[in-house]
Amino acid sequence: MELGKKTERMRELAEILRRASKAYYAEDIEIMGNFEYDKLYDELEALEKETGIVLSNSPTLRVGYEAVEELPKERHERPMLSLEKTKDREELREWLGEKTGLLSWKLDGLTIVLTYSGGKLVKAVTRGNGEVGEVVTNNARVFCNIPVSISYQGELTLRGEAVITYSDFEKINEQTGDGDAKYKNPRNLCSGSVRQLNNEVTANRNVRFFAFSLVKAEGADFHNSRKEQFLFLQRLGFDTVEFKTVNGSNVVEAVGDFEEKIKEYDVPSDGLVLVYDDIAYGQSLGATAKFPRDSLAFKWKDERKETVLYEIEWSPSRTGLINPVAIFDPVELEGTTVSRASVHNISILKSLKLGIGDKITVYKANMIIPQIAENLTGSGTVEIPESCPVCGGKTQIRQINEVQSLYCMNAECEAKKIKSFTLFVSRDAMNIDGLSEATLEKFIAKGYIHEYADIFRLRRFKEEIVEMEGFGEKSCQNLMESIEAARKTTLPRLIFSLGIANVGLAVAKMICRHYRNALEEIMAADVEQLSAINGIGEVIATGFYEYFQTEENRKRWDNLLKEVEIEKEEMSQEEQSLEGMSFVVTGSLNFFASRKELKEEIEKKGGKVTGSVTSKTVCLINNDNTSSSSKNKKAKELQVPVLTEEEFVKQYLGGKKDAD
């Protein structure tokens, strides 16, 4: 291949990898499998070495994702470099030579830099693109295992990985009502959880932090040992990555020990890291433009097996998303039998050119998650169904952020109804513990549940439920008590639980507030009247109105009302002092514990909190009114006042929130 064609191929590869990386890291969307990404990356790297050319947009020059607009950005004091990697165990021995090293897990989550001062956590920043990250201090404070206060009083900076365990990942996905809201893997879930604007979401996701590197500790003496740094962090209360002290004679054996452990390890890991224990020696080696020379990453050499694809199973969800799942002749991988793997979406299905009867190779990503590596046949004959496999309704391919996905368009699809029941019992809706999606499927299959009201009549089947697999006298009784407790609810929660399109809990609250919880008036309102409510547009109003105009929906609603008790929420005119007003909140808060608390305070008084500044915004609440964030810029452009939290409280809440 001549130089010009090689350069052209490099540009093509750089663009493909850039799009895939942006989708994965910044948008939590997977448009390309790990195997395919690594294959293209290796091809680009080989071409760069061969030609001596490295393009300015080459992903080999950059690591991580670009910081998004919603969170404040901050430049790292020291660039966070990637690690050079190998899959050769003997190379680890050669690299270590006569030196002693530490071998530890390379965790698969989101890298975070923590800074402590005076014994307090003062800052947490994501890795971002290695030079600029996102400030997530409020979210880090609610990681389930992080010390917010430590005994060491000097300036302390450390790096670690925020992760969500496989077991927590499965629980969270099980509790998720939305089909396409389910996360593909723990890393995506962790990334979204850490980078939330509302740290209550982070707190509920059980994010854990494992320290893997000490950057700075003023005045501390570690006797030139990385191991001493790890022990120091452990004494301060940090969980560190599990590590072993190794040398040339036992490093290969130690890799084998980790390899055995990963099969049952609950924390996502995509390999190991080997670092010299001798700090001074490691630092004396310096770094390349991309890699530090004091450490080396070991990536598992994926065990791949050839098999035959014999079916694509299409799995619908509550929102209509239909996920393709590859079914193939069973093969043994990493000690277990594997016969199916998610293909995630239509884009990946097309890129693999799948066809029934094709020879494919499969592997376990990070030795855990089954994936298709390559299609050796590439027939591309898989037909995308024009009708839903559950209800027979018409399907449609939709493209969002360069990703094509298949949807069922039938609103009455049975699969959608199963997911609707999951939403109905979820925490922000009726909050019924013990009714997971799997349990609901069993009850629906047995005919115990046909409509929402039937959930409150499950006691009729108590004897049968006690005998069901996974149940017993105690768990059944707990479920019945949870159902009874859920009978008493609020009108907004009850309306939200119905799963009406575009009617979330905030919208339900706005409608109920406008009509002062007068159910008869809400039911009698037409599209024009609903549209007149501040924050309720014609689309939402039409969907809400049409839902209750449907005879079957109205019948089920009436049956549901017979089973619940709606708590009376009295609203005085004084409480509605912010009615019709729209606000935007950004940045960290001083007086309120969280943005959710401030949002609820505004909503109590009839106001609304939105995510973007428009000409209708009354004011932007930001304690840093000199910030160059997109929201501040937009507010100034539209001449929307930017108020500090204290100014907002005094002007709109009557100064009733005090700074403790």
Closest by CA to 133, choosing from 200, 77, 215, is 77
Which sign does the torsion angle of CA 607, 610, 613, 615 carry?
negative
Instruction: Kindly report the length of the chain.
Output: 660
CA distances for 206 relative to 117, 237, 275, angstroms: 25, 18, 29
DSSP 356: T
Q: Which range in 283-292, 368-377, 483-492, 560-569 is most confidently predicted, on average pLDDT?
A: 483-492
Q: What are phi and psi of 316, to 5 degrees?
A: -80, 160
Beta strand 208-217 with 243-246: parallel, antiparallel or unpaired?
Answer: unpaired
Beta strand 243-246 with 110-117: parallel, antiparallel or unpaired?
Answer: unpaired
pLDDT of residue 571: 57
Tokens encoding 209: 């932090």
Q: Which residues are catalytic?
A: 106
Q: Where are the alpha helices (DSSP H) in 113-156?
A: 137-140
Q: What is the pLDDT of residues 576-602, one digit of tens each?
A: 678 778 899 888 787 787 777 888 788
Q: Which of 187-191, 363-367, 598-602 has the lowest mean pLDDT?
A: 363-367
Q: Which range in 103-117, 190-204, 289-303, 570-584 is most confidently predicted, on average pLDDT?
A: 103-117
Q: What is the pLDDT of residues 310-347, one digit of tens each?
A: 999 887 766 678 889 899 999 888 667 889 888 988 99
Please give the radius of gyration of the chain, using alpha carbons only, rounded to the nearest integer: 28
Half-sphere exposure of 425 (CA within 13 A, CB side): 28
Task: Give the DSSP letter string of 62-124.
Answer: --S-PPPTTS-EEE-SS------EE--HHHHHHHHTTS-EEEEEEE-SEEEEEEEETTEEEEE
Average pLDDT over residues 238-254: 93
Tokens 């992760």 appear where?
Answer: 163
Tokens 């980078």 appear where?
Answer: 195
Beta strand 565-566 with 582-585: parallel, antiparallel or unpaired?
Answer: unpaired
Q: What are phi and psi of 617, to 5 degrees?
A: -70, 130
Q: What is the pLDDT of residues 451-485, one digit of tens each?
A: 899 999 999 999 889 888 778 888 899 999 999 99
Question: Distance between CA atoms of 560 and 452, rounded to whole angstroms?
Answer: 6
pTM for the predicted model, two decimal places: 0.51
Question: Distance between CA atoms of 114 and 150, rounded to whole angstroms?
Answer: 12
Higher pLDDT, 413 or 640: 640
Question: Distance between CA atoms of 606 and 656, rounded to whole angstroms?
Answer: 17
Task: Give the DSSP letter string of 513-578.
Answer: HHTTT-HHHHHH--HHHHHTSTT--HHHHHHHHHHHHSHHHHHHHHHHHTT-EEPP----TGGGTT
Half-sphere exposure of 633 (CA within 13 A, CB side): 5
Q: Which range in 269-278, 397-406, 498-507 is most confidently predicted, on average pLDDT?
A: 269-278
Strand order of the β-sheet with 101-107 is 85-86, 295-298, 269-276, 101-107, 243-246
pLDDT of residue 379: 94
Question: Distance between CA atoms of 427 and 169, rounded to whole angstroms?
Answer: 17
Please, which pLDDT band fits residue 370 given cuts at 50, 70 and 90? confident
Cα angle 555, 557, 561 (rounded to 5 degrees) comes to: 120
pLDDT of residue 144: 83
Please, which pLDDT band fits residue 272 given cuts at 50, 70 and 90? very high
Say if residues 200 and 596 touch (Cβ distance below 8 Å): yes
Q: What is the pLDDT of residues 105-130, one digit of tens each?
A: 999 899 999 999 988 899 999 988 78
Question: Distance between CA atoms of 497 and 156, rounded to whole angstroms?
Answer: 46
pLDDT of residue 61: 66
Please, which pLDDT band fits residue 45 given cuts at 50, 70 and 90? confident
